[in-house]
Structure 1
Amino acid sequence: MTSSWVQKVVRPKFLKTVVERLAFKMATKGDKILSVFDFDETLIDCDSDDWILKLCPGGQVPEWMWEKHRQRHYMEFLEHFLQYLHDNGVTPKHTLEFMAEAPYTDGMEDVLKFIGKNRDKFDCVIASGANTLFIEATLKARGLEHAVNRIDSNHGHVDDKGRIHVWAYHKHVCTICSADICKGALLSEYVKEQAQKGVTYTKVVYVGDGRNDFCPCKGLGCSDVVMPRKGYKLLERIEALTPENRLKAKVVPWEQGSDVLAVLESFL
């Protein structure tokens, strides 16, 4: 009699509590913070295209190459330059090893190490107008590749003749970003893809420096954080906004990696 009463009254109530707890865990287990980083002048303390020019035989880029650069056709310029290196005996191995020596911005290695140690709380994306080969080279040289979920950048490839090729991502074009890549569209796509996998982001922290970082920042909400580098174009553009056009996200300027680290640590 007692056993039957327990089975009919107590057990269903207990099971309901368990189900409710499991449902809550399932609903929240995918909640994370998304950190997004530009590469040139943000993760590294230089422009990768300028850095690689130091490899030029004779120390000076031929004048005939500069026209593409002046026209802001950076991928075409870099493709010509990499062909020039190949023709002068500079191997892909030498090129990427040299790229790996590009200096990281003070404190940024610590930021990526922190993210790598807290992968249960953070996802990390690099959104850059550089190229995947250069970015991967710098990450692997420092053992930081495990901290990054995805690299959205222009394409890079080494062919079977030992020649590096680069070409524009150019999946999207907007009036704010460069012709090569639209960071705003890529960020939006990534968030949607993750949501389909059950991962939702309670907050996005965007860290950048240049004009083409403004596009993704425009789409962020009031719970998100935009971190423009002090003394660079992104901050200038944000500060020039009128009150009615200001960003919804909180704006926190940074000078070095420790500033970014402090913001990420505050969310734990």
Structure 2
Amino acid sequence: MAATSIIVVFDFDHTMIDDNSDTWIVEKMGLTSVFNQLRRKLPWNSLMDKMMEELHSSGKTIEDIAECLKQIPMNSTLISAIHRLKSIGYDLRIVSDANQFFIDTILEHYGLVGCFSEIITNGSFVDDEGRLKILPYNSLDLPHGCSLCPSNLCKGLVIDKIQASMVKGEKIIMYIGDGGGDYCPSLRLVEGDYILPKKDFPLWKKINGAHNSSILVKAMIQEWVDGEELGMTILRLCNI
């Protein structure tokens, strides 16, 4: 398959990396108790912003957060596959409900900065006091109207935009994910596309368990279990 004919779209947590960057920070930096107290009171995106406020108040720096993120494992076979795809000329993108700082920090740590043409995720910035702020990708004042997705990000709408920018019949999409938020974009894919769900994770369960879901998904389905298998599977499907 020619590199110019395919767009490879990655989810991030539990897909590119072997854990969830949000819950990793919560657990490793001692936020579990306050996180559990607020879990039912705040949307996830707002909850993570509150966790960053808690870390700042306790004296943790942005460097401390970055060092913690760098401990999240990422499979070497998948890293090599991403570099291989990029070197050939594949268009690689990330669509994630994490945030820009977390993703950028981890990509830099694993030498993957510059491999992706676009990263769609929740915004983040460090304010004048050194506190990391996390913002929703989609303004909560302007609902996206998708009942399948969290209020801050509809990944299906992102796929719609990618499809609208493509010349019909000349490109296909390979979407790789694991979570419930990856189900909506899987329904936007068309025949000839690929959907790669992580086995036994929410996306895989939705596709394989819900009545008629496998019929609703028109893309070719190829499951995988870990980063090593994912890296090899992507290269195999791309005939590399």
Q: TM-score with structure 2 length normalisation?
A: 0.87
Where does structure 2 lack aligned partners over 5 or more consecutive residues? none
Structure 2 equivalent of residue 222 of structure 1: 191
Where does structure 1 lack aligned partners over 5 or more consecutive residues? 1-28
Between the aligned partners of 2:208 and 2:133, the Cα distance in structure 1 is 38
State the shift of 1:116 in Å: 2.1
Equivalent position SS for 2:191: coil
Q: Sequence identity of aligned pairs in percent?
A: 27
Structure 2 equivalent of residue 21 of structure 1: none
The reply to whether residue 265 of structure 1 matches residue 235 of structure 2 is yes
What is the 5 A alignment of 1:56-75? 56=29, 59-63=30-34, 65-71=35-41, 73-75=43-45
The reply to whether residue 49 of structure 1 matches residue 22 of structure 2 is yes
The reply to whether residue 85 of structure 1 matches residue 55 of structure 2 is yes
Structure 2 equivalent of residue 161 of structure 1: 129
Structure 2 equivalent of residue 125 of structure 1: 93
**Greater helix proportion:** 1
1:256 partner amino acid: D
Larger relative contact order (Cα-Cα within 8 Å, sequence gap ≥ 6): 2
Between the aligned partners of 2:169 and 2:126, the Cα distance in structure 1 is 35
Structure 2 equivalent of residue 176 of structure 1: 148
2:112 partner amino acid: L
Does the aligned pair in 1 maintain the 2:178–2:204 contact within 8 Å? yes
State the shift of 1:262 in Å: 3.5
Between the aligned partners of 1:137 and 1:247, the Cα distance in structure 2 is 33
Q: TM-score with structure 1 length normalisation?
A: 0.78
Higher alpha-carbon Rg: 1
Equivalent position SS for 2:224: coil
2:14 partner amino acid: E
State the shift of 1:107 in Å: 3.0
Aligned residue pairs total 232
State the shift of 1:168 in Å: 0.9
The superposition leaves residues 177-236 of structure 1 with CA deviations (integer Å, 9 ceiling, x where unpaired) of 11220001012213434x4xx798522111111111000110111101111001111111
RMSD, aligned α-carbons: 2.4
